[in-house]
Amino acid sequence: MQYYVHNSNLNQYTPLNNSHNRQQGAVSWLLLLFAVALIIVSVIISIFVYKHAYQKGYHDANKEAKIVTDGIEMNADGLKSIQLENEILKNEADTAKQERDITLNNLIELRKRIDELKITNLQLKQTNKLYGKSIARQGGIPLQIIGAKIEPLPENAFEYRFDVLKLAKDGKSRTLKPRIELLNSTSFVNIPVKPSRYDIAGVARIRGRFIMPEGFSPKQLRLKLKAGDENLEQIYNWKLGKRKNNIPLSLSEVPETDQRPIN
């Protein structure tokens, strides 16, 4: 059934369904515009949310990238600095390790040389023992002085060194008793000898130091030796040698007595 609407101006009737179609079209456009508006608003909201989330995430990430060490807050630059320091420390540690290995190798070589010297020393002792036995069977060696030396030290001190040789006929050792005296034209002074006794079966090295008595000027030094039934006396003129430039200022700075053989 079709309805008509009377139009007084035109004096005619207009179908009612045309007006209804126009209303439906307007509603459709409104819905379309509303949908477009919703899409635009959604995009704007999405952009805003993304921007806010990005800023918050960046802030949180930057905050998490900071580390507190010993109460000091450090960021990425601080971490790079720590990494650089760690690299430097690692290189120093590697260098120290290499130096340690070199030192250990040197110690190993030094031990080998010491062992070789010990073996050589034992061989020499064995050879000397064989020679000593052979010489003893031939009558031995009488008591004699094979080296003598006096050297000045700081604080008016002196060091004496005497190398004495004796080998008995039976090859056994004898007790050697040394005595040292300083002589001038009117008096003499006994020098304490420590140790006061030596075992001699070949070469004995008499070493020691003494302080020159204040006001005493020796002219000679006399060395008396007694070993078994043998006695020996030797007098040396006291002479000042050339001044040494390498003498320490204090007696405490002087090393132990020189045990090297006297040339």
State residue 128 phi and psi, 5-degree precision. -60, -35
The strand ranges marked E within 55-184 are 67-69, 72-74, 141-153, 157-167, 174-183
Contact 181, 168 (CB under 8 A): no
pLDDT in tens, 125-137: 888 888 888 898 8
Domain boundaries, the chain: 86-138, 141-253
Q: How confident is the model at residue 7 (pLDDT cuts 50, 70, 90)?
A: very low
What is the torsional sign of CA 207, 148, 178, 140? positive
Query: What is the pLDDT, as a whole number, of residue 258?
Result: 85
Q: Single out the residue of 243, 161, 242 nearest to residue 209, CA to CA.
A: 161
Of residues 1 and 84, the one with the higher pLDDT is 84
The mean-pLDDT minimum among 70-74, 124-128, 142-146, 183-187 falls in 70-74
pLDDT in tens, 239-263: 865 566 667 777 777 888 888 898 8
Q: Which among 14-18, 28-32, 215-219 has the top mean pLDDT?
A: 215-219
State residue 74 phi and psi, 5-degree precision. -130, 145
Q: Is the pLDDT of residue 155 over 80?
A: yes
Encoding tokens for residue 147? 């080296």
Query: What is the pLDDT, as a whole number, of residue 219?
Result: 94
Encoding tokens for residue 125? 């002792």
Query: What is the pLDDT, as a whole number, of residue 51?
Result: 67
Q: Which fold has domain 141-253?
A: Immunoglobulin-like (2.60.40)
Burial class (CB in 10 A: 0-12, 13-18, 19+), 140: middle
Residue 162: partners with Cβ closer than 8 Å, 6 or more residues away: 145, 147, 148, 149, 178, 205, 206, 223, 262
Query: What is the pLDDT, as a whole number, of residue 241?
Result: 59
Residue 223: count other Cβ atoms within 10 Å of its Cβ.
21
Average pLDDT (207-213) is: 93
pLDDT in tens, 79-123: 788 888 888 998 999 999 999 999 999 999 999 999 999 999 999
Residue 182: count other Cβ atoms within 10 Å of its Cβ.
21
Encoding tokens for residue 78? 């601080």
Query: What is the pLDDT, as a whole number, of residue 21?
Result: 57
Residues of the chain above pLDDT 90, percent: 43
Q: H/E element holding 94?
A: helix 76-137
Of residues 64 and 155, the one with the higher pLDDT is 155
Q: Single out the residue of 117, 172, 165, 121 nearest to residue 145, CA to CA.
A: 165
Residue 200: count other Cβ atoms within 10 Å of its Cβ.
22
